[in-house]
Amino acid sequence: MAQTFSKVLVAGGAGFIGSHFARLLLREHGIAAVVYDKLTYAGNLDNLADMDGDPGFAFVQGDIADAGALALAAHGCDAIVNFAAETHVDRSIADPEAFLETDVTGTYRLMQTALELGIGKVVQVSTDEVYGDVAAGSADEDWPLVPSSPYSASKAAGDLLAFAFARTYRLPVCVTRGSNTYGPNQYPEKLIPLFVTNALEGLSLPLYGDGLQRRDWLHVEDHARGVATVLFEGEPGQAYNVGGGNERTNREITDIILRELDLPASAVKHVEDRPGHDRRYSLDSSKLKTLGWQPLMAFERGITQTIRWYRDNRAWWERIKSGEAFTQWRERWYAGRE
């Protein structure tokens, strides 16, 4: 039987997927959303601007590793959905400790807080990267966890903590594992927004290695709906894959961007591959589909709309790319590559 909720704490809700999820709760389900976000470099109040003033919306700045602040923000909520995470593989290679603090310690404190408050449902949002390379076939939820980077290892640890709380303490928690997500409002360090905004700035598109790494692409709105389906319908103690069913190589994604923006192949600059780079991810999402979810956005339409969104919303990403956090990252990882 589907669960119903009146107010949900959306941890990490000022980020990319979390902000779309908060909007989905408010606009499509009429559920109050309390966004709790530390506002690190990827948290952006601009992502929430259209919800400001909605009586069902509230924003609280805070860290999920701060149990006291988290408990205050979650007071009166009957569910928590945790998008709060450090997520960028390159950054995790440079600074693993920050990922352990948020993705492991923060997840532990969120689970403990949910248990103490008697929260009715928790959804821990994770990633397909915990499965590591999937050379053939598609990973289902029983696939071994073989993370390759400090980022994916920290997320796998968070998954296991969630399952431990479900079994030992009977906390009603589910885990979702989403595939590569794209769409409007994504911080421009990830492949699609980085390449599109670089192209619009007249910069090169720094493609790792041979560009043949394969990813399963999922539109952010489909991802948000998948997480909502697990919130309402998911069985505690279970994991659910949220995959788009759109496998493309990074080279294919790059070619789409070049065509849409009418750029020559010379705009691409092949750069040294990143350490431990997984070759392929692929998810079997049939378990989630039994709950009634399926992706609705056709990939060709979704990526075209996404490219045009960045073209038409330069002010949103120019503020980010001119900021200190992005500039420092660019200098560290792309020095001499543009």
For 12-46, the pLDDT digits (tens) are 999 999 999 999 999 999 999 999 999 987 889 99
pLDDT of 149: 83
In DSSP terms, which residues pair with 271 in a beta bridge? 208
Whether 28 is catalytic: no
Question: Which pLDDT value is given to residue 336?
Answer: 45
Does residue 147 have a pLDDT over 90?
no
Beta strands in the chain (DSSP E): 7-11, 32-37, 57-61, 79-82, 122-127, 173-178, 180-182, 205-208, 214-219, 239-242, 247-249, 268-271
Residue 272 corresponds to which tokens in the numbers above? Answer: 């040294």
DSSP state of 234: P
Average pLDDT score over residue span 215-225: 97
Does the pLDDT at position 78 exceed 70? yes
**Distance set, CA 130 to CA 127, 139, 196, 220 (Å):** 6, 10, 27, 19
173-184: pLDDT as tens digits: 999 999 999 999
Position 338 pLDDT exceeds 50? no
Contact between residue 285 and residue 245 where contact means Cβ atoms under 8 Å apart: yes
51-55 long-range contacts (CB < 8 A, ≥24 apart) are 51/22, 51/23, 51/26, 54/26
Place 334 in a pLDDT band, splitting at 50, 70 and 90.
low
The pLDDT value given to residue 13: 96
Catalytic residue among 129, 216, 221, 278: 129
Residue 37 is a catalytic residue: no
List the one residue out of 37, 15, 41, 47 whose CA is nearest residue 323: 41
> pLDDT band for position 86 (50/70/90)?
low
Q: Tokens 């939820």 map to which residue?
A: 141
Out of 108, 131, 151, 240, pick the active-site residue: 151
What confidence category does residue 87 fall into, taking pLDDT thresholds of 50, 70 and 90? low
What pTM value is reported for the model? 0.94
Render pLDDT for 51-75 as a digit per residue (tens, 0 to 9): 999 999 999 999 999 999 999 999 9
pLDDT for position 88: 59
* pLDDT score of 311 more than 60: yes
Better pLDDT: 293 or 102: 293
The pLDDT > 70 percentage for the chain reads: 92
Beta-bridged to residue 264, according to DSSP, are none
Domains of the chain: 7-182+218-242 (3.40.50.720), 191-215+246-276+297-326 (3.90.25.10)
- Predicted pLDDT at 171: 98
Find the catalytic residue in 37, 78, 86, 128: 128
Please give the pLDDT value at position 337: 43
Catalytic site includes residue 128 = yes
* Residue that is written with structure tokens 């923060």 in the block: 106
Average pLDDT of the segment spanning 229-245: 97
> Minimum mean pLDDT among 39-43, 52-56, 310-314, 315-319: which range?
39-43
Over residues 260-285, the pLDDT tens digits come to 999 999 999 999 876 767 789 999 99
- Residue 303 reports pLDDT greater than 50: yes
3-class SS letters over 4-43: CCCEEEEECCCCHHHHHHHHHHHHHHCCEEEEEECCCCCC
Mean pLDDT (the chain, rounded): 92
